[in-house]
Amino acid sequence: MQYGEDLDEHLRREVFEEVGLEIKPGEPFHLWDWKISRETKGGKANWQIVAVARICHTLSTVTCDAYRVAEDYLAETAWVPFDEMMTYDLIPNMRPVVESFLKKYGATARKDANV
């Protein structure tokens, strides 16, 4: 997040940079955290990251990686049917997020293709 950046502005920018979609940020639906340790020139650095997953409505539907930066670490972008989401090789801390999304929004999201 850039210093002074509004949370919704940050989310819109990140989603656009990573997958090329324009979105309207909505309500939070899942919170989680994780820890990272890395060796740096000054020794070991530790971070604890707190993340908030939010439901977002798409304003565009064509994905694009032209704005992606190397540090995003994304292998591919794809629209996935809800009943196939858990069959993908997700990073471990994303599985509870997807499960939470499906539990809370699965039936509603199926009716609204822009969620």
Alpha helices in the chain (DSSP H): 7-19, 95-111
The pLDDT tens digits for 24-69 are 999 999 999 989 999 999 899 999 999 999 999 999 889 888 877 7
Percent of the chain with pLDDT over 70: 90
Fold assignment, 7-111: Nucleoside Triphosphate Pyrophosphohydrolase (3.90.79)
Q: What is the pLDDT of residue 77?
A: 83
CA distance linking residue 102 with residue 110, whole number of Å: 10
- Residue partners of 55: CB distance under 8 A and separation at least 6: 26, 27, 29, 101, 105, 115
